Amino acid sequence: MSKPLILVTNDDGITAPGLRALVRYMNEIGDVVVVAPDSPQSGKGHAITLDIALYSKRMKIDLENGANEEYSCSGTPADCVKMALQELLDRKPDICVSGINHGSNSSINVIYSGTMSAAIEAGIEGVPAIGFSLCDYSWNADFEPAGESIKKIVREALLNGIPPGVVLNVNIPKLEAKDFKGIKICRQARANWKEKFDKRTNPMGKDYYWLTGEFELLDKGEDTDEWALANGYISIVPTQFDLTAHHAIQNINNWNLNA
């Protein structure tokens, strides 16, 4: 039987160490094709490029441990997946894996994440997809402790399938492999960013701003991704891209809208 075709993408850019580690792990499972941004695209969410041309270039980053095929894309993470599925691949991938992100995408961070948006774009197109993130923002983060767990999750997803309309958001604590307590299926913790702008003035007298903030956990539940990560577990949150608040439909139906 032919090996599964695995599309690898990310938001940190095609040369990012997290993506290079993910390619090595996926090479043990299937035939790997990379389509990733040509520059960092963190925090882009599900943005797509409509007002300028997109460019793609075939590359070979790692001659020894690289993918079967690799392409850089001038667009966003979502653009990369669109281009892969519509233009660059000759068949539909069996799975799309995005990451490994340098930094957490747990809780509310999933909304802003280019890593997860790339996976969600694949899910929208009917491709099973997983986003992987390591809770370490360092460019030189050590991804090796997470390798066996990542391979296990991908193999299980290929074997059992991912429910239609669902994308998996996997976050991995910054620990040695021996210190992982296991893998937990979780819900997304309720949290927010307490944001502020650092206002400065340039030499020409013009004001400019840097967005800063503090993560504010509002959820004490022990079934959340934040709890799992804080207690040494790898968290998996099944994430859907149908944003309908089904529980609110009946309430809003009671409004006097058609009188």
Residue ranges of E strands in 66-156 = 69-73, 95-102, 129-134
Binding-site residues sit at 11-12, 42, 101
Whether 236 has a pLDDT exceeding 60, the answer reads yes
User: What tokens appear for 29 in the block?
Assistant: 């499972």
CATH architecture of 5-189+221-253: 3-Layer(aba) Sandwich (3.40)
> So what's the pLDDT on residue 27?
96
pLDDT of the residue at 147:
97
- Find out whether the peptide bond into 100 is cis, omega within 30 degrees of 0: yes
Q: pLDDT tens digits for 49-105?
A: 999 999 999 998 877 777 789 999 999 999 999 999 999 999 999 999 999 999 999
Q: What is the pLDDT of residue 259?
A: 78
Mean pLDDT of 4-25: 96
* Chain centroid offset of residue 39 CA: 16
Alpha-carbon gap, residue 249 to 245, rounded angstroms: 7
Which of helix, strand or coil describes residue 177?
A: helix
- For the chain, give every domain's residue range: 5-189+221-253
Q: State what percent of residues in the chain have pLDDT above 90.
A: 91
Helix/strand/coil for 118: helix
Q: State the pTM of this model.
A: 0.93
Quick check: 73 and 54 in contact, CB under 8 A?
Answer: yes
- Computed over every residue of the chain, the mean pLDDT equals 95
pLDDT at 65: 74
User: What local confidence, expressed as pLDDT, does residue 60 receive?
Assistant: 86
At residue 1, does pLDDT exceed 60?
no
d(CA 249, CA 259): 18
What are residue 213's DSSP bridge partners?
Answer: 195
Whether the predicted pLDDT of 162 surpasses 80: yes
What is the mean predicted confidence (pLDDT) over 242-250? 94
Per-residue pLDDT at 196 exceeds 70 = yes
Annotated binding site for a divalent metal cation: which residue ranges?
A: 11-12, 42, 101
